[in-house]
Structure formats: C-alpha cells, structure tokens
Chain A
Amino acid sequence: MPRIQIGSWANDAVNWLRDNLDWLFNLITTVLNGLYTAIHTVLAAPEPLVLAGILAVLAWWLRGLPAAVLTFLGFALIDSIQQWGPTIESLSLVLVACLITVVVAVPLGIWAARSRIVGGILRPVLDLMQTMPAMVYLIPGILFFGLGVVPGIVATIVFSMPPAVRMTELGIRQVDGELVEAAEAFGTPPRRTLFRVQLPLALPTIMAGINQVIMLALSMVVIAGMVGGGGLGASVYNAISSVNVALGAEAGLAVVILAMYLDRMTGALNQRVSPLGRRALAKAQAALGHWKFLQWRPATSVAMVGVVVLALLAGGMSYLDRNGGGAAGGGNGKPITLGYVNWDEGKATTYLWKEILEERGYKPKVQALEAGPLFAGQARGDIDVQTNAWLPVTHAEYWKKYRDQLEDLGTWYDKTSLEIAVPSYVKDVKTLDDLKGKSAEFGGKITGIEPGAGEMKILKDKVLPEYGLTGQYRVQESSTASMLSELDRAVHRKKPIAVTLWSPHWAYDKYPLTKLKDPKGAFGSGDGLHMLGRKGFRKDMPEVARWMENFHLDEKQLTSLENDITSAGEGHEQDGVRTWLKKNPGLVEKIAPSAHATYAKGQDAGKAPNIGYPAWDEGIATAYLWKNVLEKRGYHPNLRNLDVGPMWTGLSAGQIDVETDGWLPVAQKQYWDRYKDDLTDVGAWYDKTSLEIAVPSYVKDVKTMDDLRTHKDEFKGKIIGIEPGTGEMQRLKSTVLPAYGLSDFQVTSAGTSAMLAELDRAYHNHEPIAVVLWSPHWAYSKYHLTKLADPKGTWGANNQIKTLGNKSFPKKFPEFAGWLKNWKMTPDELGSLEQDIQDAGKGNEDKGVEKWIGDHPGIVDKMAPVK
C-alpha cells in the first residue's frame, strides 16, 4: 500500500490556515473573548449567594419548589467548597459556547431539513465533528486562537454542535407533513410556515438537542481546562496532574452540580417556551392532588420580578461595594482598599496606613467590617489589605478557609495576648484561678465582645473549663464598644467587673487594669497581628506590599497611637494619626521609604514575558523562582501552567515566550524535532537528570533492569508507562526493553497522572509495581522507590533540563534571555527550592520562593545581574 500522507496534508493545511487566515482567527478570538468577558463579568459580579438565589428563582419558575431549594443548596455548596469562581468561569464558557452553537446549529438544522443536499453534506461533517477526539483539534486550536478560553470555546462549539443540528433537522422533519401541507394550502408563505408551524412543533425536539448541547459543552469545558480554558476544567486538571484527590473531588462535585442544574433547567425550559410543552405542563398540574404547592411554579412575570429584584440587589450591593471600596481616584494615585476588624489596633494601623499611603500618592479607602465579611470580601478581592488579622489563633478559622485567596504580608506586632482583665482596685484577683468562687462579686458574668470573635470561642470552650469556671460565670456576648462602655461605667463606680480584653489595647493606657494571668496557657500563645493582602496583591502593588512586609510597631507606639486616635474622637481618626505622627518624626520615611531601594530594575523592566511550565515539580519551582526574580527586577511576568503538548505548541506559536522545563535531548525529543524551527534553545540549567524504571523499595532483589526480567511474574508482566508520545516511552520500547530481553513486558500508556495514581495505589497495597519515572521527581521523596540500574546504558545520554524560548524570545527579552543563558542550578539548590515550595503549600508558591531567596542571599543578583 502506498502511504497516503493525510497527516502531513492536515499539517500543511493547518499551517496554511495559520499563515493566511490570521485576521479571521484574530477576529474570532476577539469576538469570543469579548462575549466571554461580558458574560463572565455579569455572572461574577453578584455575591455568590445572590446569584444562587437568582438561579433558584429560575429553577422555581421552571421546575417548582423542590428544584429551587436544591438549586440554592447546590450552589451554596459550590460556594462553600470554594469552587465558585471556577464554576462561574465554566458556566460562562458553557453559555458562550452554547449561545453560538445554537445560533449556528438551529438555522443549519432547518436548512438541512429543507434541503436534502445540505442534509447529505452535513451528515458526514457532523460525524467528523462529533467523533474526532477533542485533543486532536484542541492543539491546532491553540495555534489559531492562542491560549486561554477561546480555543476551549471553539472546541466546545465543534463538539457540541452536531446534536443541535441533528435534533433540529429531525424535529422539523418530524412535523406531520399534512400540517405543513395544510399551512401551504391556506396560502401560508414558507417563512411563516417555518416560524408559526414547523418550529413551534419541532421545539420539543430542538430543546432536547439544546439540552444535549449544554451537557456536551460542559463535558468539553472540562477538557478545555487543559488548554488554559480555566474554570472547573483547570481545577480538575490541576487535581489530576498533582493527584490531589481533595481538589479533584470538590471540582468534580461542582461540575456535577452545575451539570445537573443545566440539564434539568434546559429540560424543563421546553415546558415554558414551546406551546405543546405549556399544554403538557398545564395538564400535568391539573392532574396533581395534594402536593400541588411543591409543583406550583411562579408565572413567568412573577419569576421575572424575582430575578430582577435579586439582580437589582446584586447590582446595588456591588455598587455599594464599589462606593465603599473606593472608585479610582484622580491624580496618579492607585486606589487601595484597607479593611479592618473594628478593633482599636485595627483602626489605628489602618488609619496610620491611610495617612502614609496618601502621603505616598495612593488613594486609600478604609472599610471597617466584621471579621467574617472582611475575610470573605478580601477573598473575593474587594479589599486589598486588612491590617489586623490575629493569627494563628483568633482568626484561625477564617485563615483556614480563605488562606488560598489571601497573601500574608507578615506580622507587624507580635506581643499580643488575649486575657480577662479586671480593674486593679479589685484586690486579690491576679490570675484566672482567683476568679473561682468570686462569681457573686462579679455578678456571675464576664463581659464579652462580639459572639463571633475567636477570643469568645476560646474563652468558652477552653479557658472556663480549664479553670473550672464553667457554671460560675456566664459569658455575656455583646460588642467591643459595649464591653468598653460597661468597663468605663464600672471603673467609674469602682465596681468589680471582669471583661474579655486583649493586648495591645488602649484600655490599659486609660484605666488601671489587671491582666489576669493564665498559668495554664488556656488562651494559647499570643497571636501575631498580620497584614493580609488579597491574592495577587504583591504582584499588583509590589511597593506597598514591601512596605507592609517590613512594617513593625512596638507596644508603646501602638498604644499611644490608639490613644491619640481615640482622643481625636469618632470621625476624626486621621487627625489623631497626624497628631501621633508629629510626635514620631521620620516614621513615615521609615515605614514607607519612598525610594525603591531593595532591588534595581532591569533594563527591560515593565515587560511581561509569558512563562509556561508543566505541573512538574522542577517546572513549578523554576517558573516561580524566575517570576519572583523578574518581579524584583521590575518585570511583570505571567505564569501559565500547561500540559506538555499544549506548552510546546504555545511556545512555538509565541503564546508562551519561554519555559524552563525542557527535557532534552531525549525525553521531549519529538516535540523538539517538531517545533525546533520556531524555538530557541536558551541553555541548560540542570544536567543531573535521568530516565529510569522505578520500583518500590519493598520489592526486594529488584535493583537492575536485568532483575526485572527474572521477576516478571511478580509484576504481572506489566510496566506502567506515561503518555505514549513522550520520548522516554519511545526510548523504552525501542531500545531499553529489547536490550534487557523485556520486550514481552506490556507497557501501559495511560499518562503521567494515571501512572502516579497507579503507583500510589500499588504502594498503599504493598504490591509490586514497575513504573516509568525520571529524576528529579517528587515521587522519590514521597515514596521509597528504587531506580533500576541500567548497566548497559540503554537510556542513553542523560537529559539536560533546558530553557526553551520562542524564536523571538532573545530579541523580545534580551536581558532576560541573557540571564537565563548563564543560569545554573545544583541538585541541592533545586531540591531545597522544591522543598520550600512544597512546604509553603499549593497557592503559596511565591512565599516558598521568597523564603528560598531569603535563604540564598545574593541569589537574585547572581541570577539576574544588573549593572
């Protein structure tokens, strides 16, 4: 058989399209991006629960009360497992894709139904669209549309179009021919026949098609996460690529909830939009007995009113938010929102910073909030910085919940303590033990603060039981303000009173108080006062972040500041700050040095290189390291986590400027060969890599490849491989296995994630397993594995890990390229960097890198020298 070069024709076609239809793809990209942004902006604007409410009203309208309740619960759950953002992104993606699909597919279906020729041509095209594996056109999609949501949307449209076309065609063909004839016999024009007879009657079928479209779109959106489509797909992709079962479960659950909602709603939509559906619904409702109210659905107008009211509420809220959160001011000042829990030290620092930032030309706004809303709001990005997070104890719960959306800017005060205080005229009460038996004296109560405060919880759950005070004292919930006024009243009248208090607090300045000692340490170790930035704050406002990271106050400064503010009176806080600053000359310069001293900017500062990395440890580590270093040099790098294939594609297309994790010459040879014309080999930074087969070390006597042969049965004749296209797999099959007589081993090729999952499973069950692995890899630190020795050297030359750039990279970023060229890492450096990043936890890679840079003084200048 002669080889028919279909593959290379496709390749040529893709290249030709890319070269010649660039304008078209750009247009499509712009349109789709615009649509997506518009829809996403609208959906992401309201508070999650308000949007959940709107969706619930829709569910009520479409399906009745139980569906509405379930909808609300479902979306509230999504919010609670912190998949709201990705879910909304996915929903927007699905909506955009479906919108376009329906707009294209329904007319196509109609056309196909009316013209046999069109129907005949469309059929094989639809088959192709539906069955061609999505990844096959996702990769060219990147070539055409770049990374991000657009190729995902396009792939989704391609994938979900066929059922809509088919069902529309079917629906129209299914309309009784006699009815169409009847319409014609009465002289109905064709267009009117279509819109008044055929479409209404075909609508149930068309709606079934649209339902299919939405479900297919949702499943495709998940796949699109692999090409940077974002949303739940990205979460799922992240989860599987790091074998993160927790994240996977949550993201998966969110997909399911979204899918069920969309499915049920579009399924029921038919009953509202098609006349036949409305008839069926009315009949079904008439037949209902008792549980009618469950099935009762608000009329369209009522539901409309509900949605509009909620939407207005949402609009109003975000309007208020914006008002409170500070719209962009004039001048060249960047707006910055400071939030604080309305405690005195929070107020003090917040207004101090407001003053400082104003002097530095920023436009700060301050906002006092309860701890809960403050953390939640900041997690959503409404608040840039909060100044008085009590960590690790008092605000532990919030921190645990929102830490992923926050950046800890460090402690500015660490001598805090929580305590019960009594006026010092109450003699012989010096410790918490002394309170025992004196409940009559204190009226049997301890005056507390806000019920939600961490101190109250600790007091009730730990302190009182610890000192045997439960039952003797009631903890009076109130608010900080009423506690203080109560204290003031009692001190005035020289009455005994026990209040929950904390240090630092101006009350200690103002009244003679005794902090009751806590010999049992029931209140826990003292909290530090942290500045927390919203996610991305460091990146957006590096200067302020740096000031805040270096910010410190001692007790004397803080209490005196608090006192000055309190004296200035409510509404005049800033005057108090100014008074205080006058007493502390030079402090502003110290807190916020106006010169950007720390790191000199690079020549190309301000440029924004796109750095890609695969979700492999060394890739993550080096990408974040360079991001950090570049930011210090004034660059604005973007990081992008991608699968290997898409990354090489993106790299060759210039979507990605550079990546630091190219395994050459062996492992990723085929990508290199494929794309090398469009790439630049910037240099190798690591050469202690190896490819190998690894087995758990509990498998005794298997130390070399030869041992594998003799223990074939133990491994069931199987080697768990990775992606079939990788160089390592090819090398394994073509060279390694034959050399050791292992060719009768079966090599699975389900991908890296599957391999790691399989390894994890086997490791847990203590089963023998042989996996295709490489060094460096975190699996070696997580599991005890033996790298099988390769005495014959069949794996060939060791790979180097290279930095690869798009062809244009050295020209676009000459300085950065120069730095990369001379950059090397030792195994120790890489190991410690990976370790620090691992320790910092997912989402805190920057912190890990920061720490590592701190541990390696001079590393920035070494990596990125500037004159």
Chain B
Amino acid sequence: MSFQLFTGEDEPNSSRTTTCRPIGQAPQGWQVVSRATREVYVSRLQAERLYKVFGRRPEDAVRRLQAGAGRDELRSEGTTAAVIDASIEVDEGQIFVVMGLSGSGKSTLLRMLNGLLEPTSGAVRFDGQDLTSLSAKELRAVRSHKISMVFQHFALFPHRSVLENAAYGLEVQGVARAERERRATEALELAGLKGWEKSWPDELSGGMQQRVGLARALATDADLLLMDESFSALDPLIRRDMQDQLLELQKTLKKTIVFITHDLNEAMRLGDRIAVMRDGRIVQTGSAEDILVRPANDYVASFIQDVDRSRVLTAGAVMTEVGAVLGMTAPDGTTLSTAAEFRAAAPATVGTGTPLADLFTACSAGGVPVAVTDEHGELAGAVTAERLLAVLGESGGPKPAAGVPAQPGPADASAPAAGNGGTVTTGA
C-alpha cells in the first residue's frame, strides 16, 4: 500500500491513487497488535521500548529514564541517551520512514534493528524472532540472509569492482562464485547499472555508487532493507531519481523497508508511515497526512511548516461528511437536499487520493463543494472552498481532527509540551 504523494511530471502513475488508504483508518497490523497478546504477531518488524544509552552504567541510566529523568540530566553525568523508549512496527511491504534532525537518534535506532548496536533495553522482533536474544553468530546469520543495509555514503569497498561489491553479501553467505556473480549481475541490472560490472567504485558518480549500494542490498534477497539516509548525500535531481526508482522497485519487490532521513519531503514522498524523532524519542508516528494535518506537538508542527501541504494532503484527508453540505444552496438557486443532487451539482468529482492542489480550480468555480468518491465510485464526502482554505492555512498547530485516533503517549519531559499537553504517538 502506498500513497501517491507527488504527481511527479516524470512519473504519471494513476494506479497509485487508487490504492490510497483513507485517512483515519489505521493499517491493519498495528491496531491488532496493540490489543493482541504477544504471541500473535502481525507486523514484520517490531521494536519494543528500545533504549540505547552510551556511557558508563547504561542500565542504571535506563532505569532513571524510565523513572522520569531527563536526557540533559544524564548528559551532565557523561552518559548519552541516544534512543529513549522507542517503539515501531513495520508491516510487510511497507516503507517506514524514521525522520528527525541529526542527533535525534534515528541512526542509532536503525542500527539496533539489525543488531549492529545492542539495545540497552527493549526488544527487536523480526519475523517473530527476538534479535536481542541471539548470539553474535546467529545474529550475523540473520544479518547476512534477512536484513540488508544501504548507507549514507554508499560504503562501497574501494578495493572491489562493482560486481564484487554487489556480490559481497552473497560472498559472506558463502554462495558459490558463479551463482553469486549471476545474482549480483541481476541486482545491478535492477538498479540500472547494467554494463558497469567491471568498473570500480571510484569511477562512478555518486548516484551510480548508491545504485551499487542498493544492488548490494538487493542481491542477498533479504526481506528487510534498512536505508540510512541513503539519498542524503546525493544532489537533489539524482535524489529524486533514486526515490522514484526505489518506489518503482518496491512495487515489484515488496520489501519491508525502514528508511532514515532528515528530509521531510523525502519522508512524505516515500513513507507509508512516518515516525518523527526528536532527542531520542519518537514524538509522532503516522501517515504523511496524519503528521501534516495533526502534528502531535509544536515541534512536529514547526517541522512541517515549510511542506507544500497542497501536494501532500489529499481530498480524502480533508473532506467533510456529505451531510454537512446538504441543504446548501447552489448558485443557480436550487437547494441541494440529496446526495445525488449534490453530486450532480458539484463542479468536479475527484478520488480520495487527489492532492488538494488539484482542487483549487474546481472549488473556485462556484459555491458548490467538490464531490469526493471512494475507490468504488461511491460518494464519500465533499470539500468546500472554505474547508480547503482553512486546511491550507492551518499553522500546523496540534489540532487533532475528529475521528482520528490519537493515543496519548508516555509523558515526555524533554519535548516541548504542546498546549493540550502530551505528545501524540501511535503504536504500542
């Protein structure tokens, strides 16, 4: 499942709009799990109450954090709490974006997911297997077969050719040479590097190098792909290309992806779900629209200020009930008393996935709101011009809309408390 977040000129892709998930309807998995017993797993990857503390006596620090001590308090004693009480769940085939500024702990969180860093406290489950309980050797086996990683600065081995780089994971798995070269060649082809096998990393441009990094990650057939700011070091056009390519690949490969970024637009573009991190804590988890429309606190709100909301928000996200528009008068004087009358009088009928940017013309045409239909063509709601302007004009303050499930998270001393107190998080 994926949102069409941008109607990129280079990639007309109408089919994506039809797979849109209506806002307010949480993905199947996390609702179930939040009520389910531990034995039942639904999500592919779960991280439960992860803590990572660097410094002396980390366990003590975790206990103190759990007792309500602040991050700054610990830092003054020389210990650094990089990740505090972070829980995420990622479904099969989902792109889960962790977004935050540098130092927010997102990379540390990522490295705990594949055991590069051992959590100070908490558990990571992948396919129901608790990675934190594995021996180093078992953990390496999991990493080599099930989890791949793509790095910010590509991390290609300069002493290996492109092909050898792409085949690295397979080499570690112990795959025979002919087999691993075949599979690495395929992966390179997928990444768009056919014909470059014999080249060396330093002969490639940054974008191409990252394609090698991607190919290396794909070659192992791992189901979980961890991407650590993978496109941040690329210039904007290349970055855009890579994002497109990732989405394109994802359509066929259906990997489970955890993607780290500090770029909100990238997060919005790629993420099926987004977790915003600040100072080691996850301050909000939700879809792009959740975050845009209902930022959990001032921090998130200020974060999303510069996002072009008209391109991120969709008609489905801002529409009102059909009932709210019934009884209004059309410009020609008729009163719209039934849904059918409204639908006939509406200046335009759009799908729930249509970005707001495409509604302006229709809304300005007359007094009748735009009709919104669901994927079955049934009338789902309406967008009035007032509503449209109101949504785009929203300062981004925390205004949970009615009907959106928002569960209060644990008290967060360090996050600037919003007016309504408490941070909104979702998940466990």
Chains A and B belong together in one complex: yes
Whether B240 sits at the interface, judged by CB under 8 Å, is no
Instruction: Tell me if A48 counts as interface (CB < 8 A to partner B).
Output: no
Name which residue of chain B comes closest to A193, CB basis: B172
> Does A179 lie within 8 Å of B157, measured CB to CB?
yes
- Assess A182 versus B142: contact at CB under 8 Å? Given A187-B172, A192-B172, A279-B200: no
A668 within 8 A of partner (CB): no
Q: Does B114 contact A (CB under 8 A)?
A: yes
* Cα-based distance from A197 to B157 in the complex (angstroms): 8
Task: Convert A190-234 into 0s and 1s, putting 1 for each residue whose CB lies closer than 8 angstroms to a CB of B.
Answer: 001000010011000000000000000000000000000000000
CA distance A197 to B156 in the complex (A): 11
Contact indicator B148/A201 (Cβ below 8 Å): no
- The B interface, classified by DSSP as helix, strand, loop or mixed, is mixed
Decide yes or no whether B149 CB sits under 8 A from chain A. yes
B158 touches A186 (CB 8 A): no
Determine if A181 and B143 form an interchain contact, defined as CB atoms under 8 angstroms apart: no
Q: Is B94 an interface residue (CB 8 A)?
A: no
| Chain A positions within 8 Å of B216 at CB level | 186
A187 close to B157 (CB less than 8 A): no
Distance A181 CA – B142 CA, assembled complex (angstroms) = 15
- Is B220 in the interface zone, CB < 8 Å from A? yes
A276 to chain B: which residues have CB within 8 Å?
Answer: 158-159
Residue of B nearest to A176 (CB): B155
B window 156-191: CB within 8 A of A: 157-160, 168-169, 172-173
Contact B159 A200 (CB under 8 A): yes
Interface residues of B in 377-417 (CB under 8 A from A): none
A interface, by DSSP: helix, strand, loop or mixed?
helix
Shortest distance from the beta carbon of B32 to any chain A beta carbon, whole Å:
31
Q: Is the CB of B153 within 8 A of A186?
A: no
> Which range holds the interface residue count of chain B?
20 to 34
Kindly supply a per-residue 1/0 record for chain B positions 294-305, scoring 1 wherever the CB is within 8 Å of any chain A CB and 0 otherwise. 000000000000
CA distance A185 to B137 in the complex (A): 13
Given A186-B148, A187-B172, A179:B143 Cβ within 8 A: no
Please tell me if the beta carbons of A179 and B168 are within 8 angstroms of each other in the complex: no
A181 to chain B: which residues have CB within 8 Å?
A: 116, 151, 155
Contacts A178-B152, A178-B153, A192-B172 hold; do A186 and B116 have CB atoms under 8 A apart? Answer: no
User: Are the CB atoms of B220 and A186 closer together than 8 Å?
Assistant: yes
* Cβ 8 A contact of A182, one of B137, B139, B144, B155: B155
A186-B144, A201-B159 known; A178 vs B151 contact (CB < 8 Å): yes
A242 within 8 A of partner (CB):
no
Among all A-B residue pairs, the 7 with the closest Cβ atoms: A187-B144, A275-B159, A182-B155, A187-B143, A185-B149, A187-B140, A178-B155
B344: interface (CB < 8 Å): no
A272 to chain B, nearest CB (A): 14
- A245-287: which have CB < 8 Å to B? 274-276, 279
Q: Find chain B residues with CB under 8 A from A186 CB.
A: 143-144, 148-149, 168-169, 172, 216, 220
Q: How far is the CA of A187 from the CA of B131 in the complex (A)?
A: 13
* Cα(A200)–Cα(B114), bound, Å: 26
Q: Is B141 an interface residue (CB 8 A)?
A: yes
Q: Is B145 on the interface with A (CB-CB < 8 A)?
A: yes
Could you show 23 A-B contacts with beta carbons less than 8 Å apart?
A176-B155, A178-B152, A178-B155, A179-B157, A181-B116, A181-B155, A185-B116, A185-B149, A185-B226, A186-B148, A186-B149, A186-B220, A187-B140, A187-B141, A187-B142, A187-B143, A187-B145, A187-B172, A188-B140, A188-B144, A200-B159, A274-B159, A279-B200
How many A-B residue contacts, CB cutoff 8 Å? 62
Q: Which residues of chain B (204-230) have a CB below 8 Å from chain A?
A: 216, 220, 226
CA distance A192 to B173 in the complex (A): 12
Is A189 engaged at the interface, CB distance under 8 Å to the other chain? yes
CA distance A189 to B153 in the complex (A): 22
Contacts of A274 in B (CB 8 A): 159
Contacts of A189 in B (CB 8 A): 137, 140
Q: Which residues of B contact A178 (CB under 8 A)?
A: 151-153, 155
- Kindly state whether residue A184 has any CB partner on chain B within 8 Å: yes
**How distant is B143 from chain A, measured CB to nearest CB, in Å?**
4
B114 contacts across to A, CB distance below 8 A: 185
- Residues of A contacting B158 with CB < 8 Å? 201, 276
B341-375 CB contact bits vs A (8 Å, 1 = yes)?
00000000000000000000000000000000000
Query: With A and B bound together, what is the CA distance between A256 and B168 in angstroms?
Result: 46
Q: How far is A499 from B175 in the complex, measured between Cα atoms in Å? A: 84
Interface residues of A in 91-139 (CB under 8 A from B): none
Q: Interface centre among B116, B141, B155, B173, by most A CB within 10 Å?
A: B155
A197 to B159, CA, bound (A): 8
- Roughly how many angstroms separate A178 CA and B107 CA in the complex, as a whole number? 12
Set of chain A residues within 8 Å of B151, measured between Cβ atoms: 178, 181-182
Fill in one digit per residue for B5-41: 1 if any A CB lies within 8 Å of its CB, else 0.
0000000000000000000000000000000000000
Min CB–CB distance B28 → chain A (angstroms): 30
Is B143 touching A185 in the complex (CB atoms < 8 A)? Answer: yes
Q: Once the chains are docked, how many angstroms separate the CA of A189 from the CA of B114?
A: 15
B200 CB contacts on chain A under 8 angstroms: 279
Write the chain B residue with the least CB distance to A182. Answer: B155
- Residues of B within 8 Å of A185, CB to CB, are 114, 116, 143, 147-149, 226
A801 vs B60: C-alpha distance when bound (angstroms): 78
